[in-house]
């Protein structure tokens, strides 16, 4: 894909990977619709974009939001070329300590919302014979460890959905991909307890959001006869 003058949607754009991806892809010339819950942060992001952008504030778990994002892209720019489905939360804990409501919310955000956005986008991409969908998965969508059962389950679901959709749409001009970050320096773990953060402290140089953003750009810019179904990016010190 030639990113200059392309049009894309980025979810979870108010911090971390989403913010970095918006800045990098905008520098490459992409026009963007960015979304997250915090309107004031999205407005700040728009001020830092190199190309034209639109902010749509909302809760990614709202079933109406995917179509609102697509309508914003097509209404403002007349087209939609890619979606980076990046919004997610990470609640972890053992059977004895994790909160049931937090797990349910995580399933809605990481899985249900990602499914709704994927299918809404693909119903645009398939008739037009082109379009890229990249969803943020995780190393924990490939491997598990104790205490991350539900989070890993949501990411395994993303992996399975994306691979099946890639196969279904092979040959249509539509590419379905996932990016699988390891430990990345974002707000994702900001609410963890000190004990939960212990495994992370051994990694002195985590992956940075812009590292992931650069990989997303690489995936999008591949020639149209090439697809990168999965891209795993880890800190050098990560053993999981």
pLDDT tier at 187, thresholds 50, 70, 90: low
How far is Cα 234 from Cα 203, in angstroms, rounded to an integer? 10
The pLDDT, as a whole number, for residue 188 is 65
How far is Cα 140 from Cα 136, in angstroms, rounded to an integer? 11
Mean pLDDT of the chain: 93
How far is Cα 141 from Cα 122, in angstroms, rounded to an integer? 22
Backbone torsions φ then ψ of 95, nearest 5 degrees: -55, -35
- pLDDT surpassing 80 at residue 94: yes
Residues 47-92 have pLDDT tens digits of: 999 999 999 999 999 999 999 999 999 999 999 999 999 999 988 8
pLDDT tier at 230, thresholds 50, 70, 90: very high
| Domains annotated on the chain, with CATH | 7-233 (3.40.50.720)
CB contact burial 17-51 (16+ within 10 A = b; e otherwise): bbbbbbbbbbebebbbbbbbeeeebbeebbeebeb
- pLDDT surpassing 70 at residue 218: yes
List strands edge to edge, sheet with 53-57. 53-57, 31-36, 7-11, 82-85, 131-136, 174-181, 230-233
The catalytic site residues sit at: 151
Residues 18-46 have pLDDT tens digits of: 999 999 999 999 999 999 999 999 999 99
Q: Are 133 and 27 in contact (CB under 8 A)?
A: no
The widest CA-to-CA distance across the chain, in whole angstroms, is 51
- pLDDT surpassing 90 at residue 178: yes
- State what percent of residues in the chain have pLDDT above 70: 92
Residues 119-131 have pLDDT tens digits of: 999 999 999 999 9
């Amino acid at each position: 894909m030639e990113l200059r003058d392309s049009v894309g949607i980025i979810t979870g754009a108010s911090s971390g990977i989403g913010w970095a991806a918006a800045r990098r892809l905008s520098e490459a010339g992409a026009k963007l619709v960015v979304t997250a819950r915090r309107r004031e942060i999205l407005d700040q992001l728009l001020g830092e974009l190199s190309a034209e952008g639109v902010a749509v504030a909302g809760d990614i778990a709202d079933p109406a939001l995917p179509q609102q994002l697509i309508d914003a892209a097509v209404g403002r720019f007349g087209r939609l070329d890619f979606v980076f489905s990046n919004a997610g939360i990470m609640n972890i804990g053992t059977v004895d300590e994790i909160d049931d409501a937090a797990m349910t919310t995580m399933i809605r955000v990481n899985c249900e919302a990602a499914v709704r956005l994927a299918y809404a986008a693909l119903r645009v991409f398939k008739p037009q014979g082109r379009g890229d969908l990249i969803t943020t998965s995780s190393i924990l969508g490939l491997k598990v460890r104790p205490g991350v059962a539900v989070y890993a389950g949501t990411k395994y679901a993303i992996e399975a959905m994306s691979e099946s959709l890639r196969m279904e749409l092979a040959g249509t001009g539509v590419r379905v991909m996932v990016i699988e970050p390891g430990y990345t320096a974002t707000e994702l773990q900001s609410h963890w307890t000190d004990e939960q953060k212990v495994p992370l402290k051994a990694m002195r140089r985590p992956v940075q959001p812009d590292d992931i953003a650069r990989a997303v750009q690489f995936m999008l810019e591949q020639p149209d006869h090439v697809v990168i179904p999965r891209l795993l990016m880890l800190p050098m010190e990560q053993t999981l």
